[in-house]
Structure 1
Amino acid sequence: MCAVAAPFVLGTALRVRERVTAARVEAGRRALDVAGLVAARLDDRARDAGTVIADAFRGARLPDGATITILDAQGVVLGHGPRGEELVGRRMPNLAALPDAGRREAIEVVGSDGAPWLAAFATAPATGWRVRVAVPRRAADAAVRGEVARDVLLTAAALALALGLAAVVGRRVVGSLDSTFDEMAATIDARTAALRRIEQRYQLLFEACPLPLFLSEFATHRILAVNDAACAEYGYTREEFTHLTLLDLRPAEERLRFLAVSRALTEAQGFRERSSTGVWRHRHKDGSIAEVEVFTVITEFEGQPVRLSVSLDVTARRRAERALQESQDQLRRAQKMEALGRFAGGIAHDFNNLLTGILGYCDLALSDEGLPSETREDFSAIRDAAQRAAGLTGRILAFSRGRVMQPVALDVNDVVEGLQPMLGRMIGEHIRLESDLSPSAGTVLADSGQVEQVVLNLALNARDAMPDGGVLSISTSDVHVEHDDAHHPDVPPGRWTVLEVRDTGVGMDAETQTHIFEPFFTTKDRARGTGLGLATVYAIVQQGGGAVRVWSAPGAGSRFAVYLPRVDEPAEERRTPPAPQLAVGGDETILLVEDEEAVRAIARETLIRRGYRVITAADGPSAIEVARRHPEIDLLLTDVVMPGMSGRELAELLARDRHALKVLFMTGYTEDEVLHRGVSSDDVALLAKPFTPDTLCAEVRAVLDAEQPSAV
């Protein structure tokens, strides 16, 4: 009998449930319709909310106990009916946080009396006011209460009959069933508690993670959940995050890459393939961009594939890595320049020795008045070629850490103005020369010859960039650079005199700009360029403690800015060099020490022709032996750099016994190498190679005529 009654009871229960559910859905639908009608009638703020509510109750069939509430965006009650006028004007925070007004179904809420209510919501489009229509659930159920009561009575009668017939048989079974049901209930409670603990544990891990966590739909990329760290770092609230997708967090240029990675994850198999790690650029709510390292794994959540991602802000680390890489690149470039500079300096030294001999013999030959005219022209051509070669070695020496410098307080404007006539002839008539020299450009401490070389090299470079003509502009200005000045990156803070050279030529691409200061790099035909012009500019400026910046683009010309440290000293007056005079000879005894035979020979011949008595030696030890046999030596003329013993060491040894001995040093090396050998142009007489016979004789005479012996 129980088996027969059980299906009947179950069917009755299902019918009751269906009727109650249908009644509640109908009540909710009616409440939703009324909410929509009320919202539509609130077409302006002038309409009285109470009147609208009253009209709604007259025109709508709402169950007993239903209420209509109208609130503004701040949760202030504007109307409440059919009763409750005392609520108008009060702020009700529990009603201000209404669910999305776009919902198309009523929801169940708990009233202030603790009873369940069915609530529907709508928003007035014109005013933004919110409407809530609430129906007591018991009122919705009342519509089917009679039918439910009838079904329950019939079911109860059938059940009583079945139980009465089974009473005798089921007494023993009932006790067993009670025990079984108790065990099942306990098991279910235990498993529910365990699941709740697991859920709480993982919720705690998700929220307590110090790194931003994102849970998003895999197919649509819509963000489902985030933790507090994500809100703090990105600036969005949880509600705002749920209206975003992962694409919204990325700049436009990274979205295609993100979609490509997503497609690869879709096709992947296995955990390693279904996860990814990469560095991305993410946009925060305030618009700032951060570099983040993101680890993502694809898993399932509520039966759907989702993406769980954790992000780590690596902006500072990446900036430091780039700075380190740039420093390493600069170090490699500096080491390369160092090696090339030493190599080039050695070559220049050898060339200077050779050119000294060539220029000397040419001058000696040209001094012969009986030289045939054709032979004189030949020697003049040789001498001109040697002079050009000397200019080339001078540029090599400047690049390889500079020749011997003579820095003075210098007005850069004076240098540029003095060069303008030469520049006009040099660049040609097809290029217009313009200048804009600021009176406040200031004074720098530099070698005037080297500043002239910087201007000339930049002008020549600009000329070659404008084969079809254009404009060459030279300007000066006074610039004060602050710490981390964005307008002058890579320039140390302080006051600078800036010399700018601009052209309207062909310009350079970014790749070319990375190499322009490298020695022997050139984009010109080998017949027109040596690749040393800009390298020399860079070396001179760096040697003087300055900096060079470049702006250029193909077809847009080029601009070079040379930053020279400014000094608070008045500029020295630029003197016009005196007209060359024939060097006077003498009858003094000179000890000539030079390891290069060609230089030794031409210097000896030149001095003998001017009346001097010359004793020669090829190195320091030989010179000491010769000096012991000739106590009458008046002047030591020695090379600085020699094998075995330097010129400085030789001079110090000889000066111990000859306090009146005068010394003139010769060198074809760079200033750094000379200083390394203990010789400075500030405290000794120094003659740079290559030199001409007249220059040699003039320097020798000046040292011999000096009242005090030259310092050693």
Structure 2
Amino acid sequence: MTGVDYAEILEQVGVAVISIDRNGLIQLVNQATSSIFGYATEDMLGRNVSMLMPEHIAVRHDDYLRHHQRTGQTRIIGTGREVHGRRADGTVFPLHLSIGRHDSNGQPGFTGIIHDLSDQVQTHDRALRFGRIIDESSNEIYVFRTDDLKFTLVNQGALANLGYRLEEMLNMTPVDIKPEYDEDAFSQIIAPLIRGECPRVEFECTHLRQDGSVYETDVVLHLADPGSPVEIVAIIQDCTERNRMRRAILQSQRMEFIAQMSGGIAHDFNNLLTVITGNLELLEMSAQDAEQRELLKEAAEASTRGADLTSRLQSFAGQHVSNPTRLNLNHVVLDLSEMLDSIVGKDVLFRTIMSPELWSICVDQSQMDSALINLVLNAREAMPDGGSLMVETVNCSLTAAQSRDLNLPPGDYVQLSLSDSGQGISQEHLESIFEPFFSTKSRSENQGLGLSMVYGFARQSGGTLRVDSELGQGSRFTLLLPRDSSQQIAAVNGTCKHAEPSERAVILLVDDEESVRRLTARRLLYLGHTVIEAGNAAEALAAHESHPGIDMLLTDMVMPGNMSGMDLSCALRARQPDLPVVISSGHSEELSQTAISDHHALYLLGKPYSMGELENLLSRVLHR
């Protein structure tokens, strides 16, 4: 061929070309060689080609070259292989080298063609590294065909979580580990992916392990690289723990809402019952006819039962006025043992396991007794044909993780657990088991507030109540109460069993509920006192200023405006430091919070209250 510029061709090819003489000295390089190795052309010509090699190869290169010329043996000459080169900055990089021998004027020479493999090797290394990351990921990652749904790739995370061997998984399909789906239902899920209608499909389902256990998962599906047959990549995250925590938080919020609602209802009912009970008492005092008195008595008894119901609602809401006492749960169980034996009956095997060095707790003893009795009653009702019941006490210390699950602060607790062999509770009913008036019994059977009261007592005492149960497997109720680490709390008591006759006094009566205020005024007048009425704190302050001879303040706790009954008492005591104060409320939590404030001459009166309770308290206040 004539007119061909080989030098121009050499410069335009995208690979490095180097020619050396028999001594290894560089005779020719192209521009690509300069670009790859980082040397200028003039810096390479005439120098030994070993300058472009890593040190451990460079020191032996001349010996290789002489050995070939002496013996004719070839290693790399005439073939290609992957080796390493060294750039001008000293970095070593992978390359592919092909060497050919040629003779010029009777002298041998050698030409090498070099391809820089840096990008390919880096890409390959990244792919290997990414593959290892995917394989070792705790998430489950699969690839499966769309024609027969068979798995083609399964990572180690999936094998570890599911418990299968790789060869077993490669003969399985997603349907085999998704008990909620058959092949038709699963095919409908992936159909939009195959048709190209969406880039990915996300859904939640359960997975079935080899040992039969199930767990909850988040599933993301998307198409793999185009190929035949079409394949889908599945990325699975075990969300069992996340969903469990989410359900626990929602359940806690739900119970808190129901407790607040129950407490509010109880508060309003207590105001109504105060009016009803008080007026019935006044009517009964003036009634002359025996039949009328009997009717009034029955109405009063019904009102008392209503008051007991609101008290139970307040117990659930954690608003019951309590008198905390230092207790040992072992002693509580032993003291009630005879009663508990009679509750469970002869057809139930009743056992106790009590920790010998149990920590003390500080709770209301009557509520603690009631909680234990209610839990035993509940267990007995779950075993109509007999069975076994075990009551166990033990110390436990909650870690941060455990306390988050139970919505409690970390620390030391005393645990009381009751395990029965009864009918068990369905998952559906477990979510509502502590709600007021919820029951698994029929409507014709007794339904009450037993478990909800225990739950309210536990929360008010700084602990919690939890249940673990399955249908047909019995139930285990666990009551956790904080270890007592403080001095015994002394609660203010607003009643007195042996009251002296009350003195006649001028009483400032403050209540925003007109019907309650009117009734209380009648009662106070009936008892011989002088009453000054006010509907709110502002009116009370004005009345106190215009009536300097006031002997006592009787006020509701919650009132409209910015001043509560407690705020009003402080304001009046700033004027009259020795003024006795009685605070009344239908919301027991308000009284409980006030009771521990340790205010001098402060007395508490919970609604609804009887005439006798009012008279006894007034005697106590006025004779202090």
Q: Smaller-chain TM-score range? A: 0.5 to 0.7
3-state SS in 1 of match to 2:575: coil
Establish whether residue 458 from structure 1 lines up as the match of residue 375 from structure 2. yes
Q: 1:401 to 1:549 in 2, by over 3 A?
A: closer
For residue 655 of structure 1, what is the aligned residue in structure 2? 573
Distance 2:380 2:285 in 1: 38
Establish whether residue 539 from structure 1 lines up as the match of residue 463 from structure 2. no
2:430 paired residue among 498, 513, 518 = 513
Distance 1:344 1:436 in 2: 36
Distance 1:451 1:387 in 2: 23
For residue 12 of structure 1, what is the aligned residue in structure 2? none
8 A Cα contact 1:250 1:282, kept in partner: no
1:663 CA displacement: 0.9
In the alignment, residue 554 of structure 1 is paired with which amino acid? L
For residue 699 of structure 1, what is the aligned residue in structure 2? 617
8 A Cα contact 1:585 1:612, kept in partner: no
3-state SS in 2 of match to 1:642: coil
Residues 79-137 of structure 1: CA deviation (Å, up to 9, x unaligned): xxxxxxxxxxxxxxxxxxxxxxxxxxxxxxxxxxx9xxxxxxxxxxxxxxxxxxxxxxx
8 A Cα contact 1:407 1:445, kept in partner: yes
Q: 1:492 to 1:611 in 2, by over 3 A?
A: closer
In the alignment, residue 496 of structure 1 is paired with which amino acid? Y
In the alignment, residue 696 of structure 1 is paired with which amino acid? L
Q: Within 5 A, what are the aligned runs for 1:443-522?
A: 443-467=360-384, 473-482=390-399, 484=401, 493-522=410-439
For residue 506 of structure 2, what is the aligned residue in structure 1? 589
8 A Cα contact 2:324 2:488, kept in partner: no
Question: Which ranges of structure 2 fall in alignment gaps of 5 or more residues?
Answer: 1-74, 76-113, 136-140
Distance 1:249 1:270 in 2: 17
1:407 paired residue among 296, 316, 324 = 324
1:350 paired residue among 268, 284, 303 = 268
In the alignment, residue 604 of structure 2 is paired with which amino acid? L
In the alignment, residue 171 of structure 2 is paired with which amino acid? L
Which segment is superposed worse, 197-206 or 687-696?
197-206
3-state SS in 1 of match to 2:483: strand
3-state SS in 1 of match to 2:471: coil
Q: 1:500 to 1:365 in 2, by over 3 A?
A: farther
Q: Within 5 A, what are the aligned runs for 1:297-312?
A: 297=224, 305=228
8 A Cα contact 1:251 1:281, kept in partner: no
For residue 552 of structure 2, what is the aligned residue in structure 1? 635
8 A Cα contact 2:348 2:387, kept in partner: yes
3-state SS in 2 of match to 1:585: coil
1:665 paired residue among 573, 578, 583 = 583
Q: Within 5 A, what are the aligned runs for 1:674-685?
A: 682-683=598-599, 684-685=602-603
Distance 1:266 1:593 in 2: 70
For residue 171 of structure 2, what is the aligned residue in structure 1? 247
For residue 258 of structure 2, what is the aligned residue in structure 1? 340
Q: What TM-score do you get using the length of structure 2 for normalisation? A: 0.62
For residue 48 of structure 2, what is the aligned residue in structure 1? none
8 A Cα contact 1:215 1:307, kept in partner: no
8 A Cα contact 1:520 1:531, kept in partner: yes
Q: Within 5 A, what are the aligned runs for 1:76-475?
A: 207=128, 209-210=130-131, 211-212=134-135, 246-247=170-171, 253-254=177-178, 272=196, 295=222, 297=224, 305=228, 315=237, 318-319=238-239, 325-361=243-279, 377-420=294-337, 435-467=352-384, 473-475=390-392
Residues 197-247 of structure 1: CA deviation (Å, up to 9, x unaligned): 9999997786464445999999899999x8xx9689979xxxx97x67623
1:666 CA displacement: 0.7
8 A Cα contact 2:424 2:470, kept in partner: yes
Question: Which ranges of structure 1 fall in alignment gaps of 5 or more residues?
Answer: 1-113, 115-192, 707-712
Residues 436-478 of structure 1: CA deviation (Å, up to 9, x unaligned): 4444332112223432342243234334434455555543222
Distance 1:354 1:533 in 2: 24
3-state SS in 2 of match to 1:539: helix
8 A Cα contact 2:421 2:475, kept in partner: yes
1:514 CA displacement: 1.6
1:299 CA displacement: 6.0
Residues 170-215 of structure 1: CA deviation (Å, up to 9, x unaligned): xxxxxxxxxxxxxxxxxxxxxxx99x99999997786464445999
Distance 1:263 1:538 in 2: 47
In the alignment, residue 477 of structure 1 is paired with which amino acid? V
Q: 1:615 to 1:233 in 2, by over 3 A?
A: closer
Residues 237-270 of structure 1: CA deviation (Å, up to 9, x unaligned): xxx97x6762379896459979779988999997
Distance 1:701 1:598 in 2: 24
Higher gyration radius (CA): 1
1:529 CA displacement: 5.0
1:598 CA displacement: 4.6
1:429 CA displacement: 7.8
1:685 CA displacement: 2.0
1:565 CA displacement: 1.0
1:356 CA displacement: 2.6
3-state SS in 2 of match to 1:666: strand
2:606 paired residue among 688, 706, 709 = 688
Question: How many residue pairs get matched?
Answer: 490
Establish whether residue 614 from structure 1 lines up as the match of residue 614 from structure 2. no
3-state SS in 1 of match to 2:576: coil
Q: 1:665 to 1:249 in 2, by over 3 A?
A: same
1:691 CA displacement: 1.7
Q: 1:596 to 1:310 in 2, by over 3 A?
A: closer
For residue 71 of structure 1, what is the aligned residue in structure 2? none
8 A Cα contact 2:322 2:592, kept in partner: no
